[in-house]
Amino acid sequence: MIFGLGLDALCKIISNRIKSEWWDKELADSRRSARQAMRSDPRSHAACAARAECQRMLRRKLSRWTRSQAIALLHLAQANPARFWGKF
């Protein structure tokens, strides 16, 4: 679960929005393989493993992107406070 949401709910939210900067082909392929495994046999070990790997990858990419954005905002706040506050 990520942010209190399951994989299906999170994927639905992501697919309904414009794809974020952190969403890439690797995540799309991972989601596609997890969905395919879940459709074939939802209770199989392969389906559970694919779903867990997809969630791990999603969590890792999102946290890296969030951290990089936070660092960029920190540098902007230190270098140009007026532009930083203009973003809000």
**pLDDT tens sequence across 49-64:** 999 999 999 999 999 9
Q: How would you class 13 by CB atoms within 10 Å of its CB: exposed for 0-12, middle for 13-18, buried for 19 or more?
A: exposed
Give the pLDDT score at 10: 62
User: In angstroms, rounded to a whole number, what is the distance separating the alpha carbons of residues 48 and 85?
Assistant: 44
2: pLDDT strictly greater than 70:
no
Q: What is the pTM of this model?
A: 0.69
pLDDT-derived band at 80 (thresholds 50, 70, 90) equals very high
Domains of the chain, residue spans: 7-86
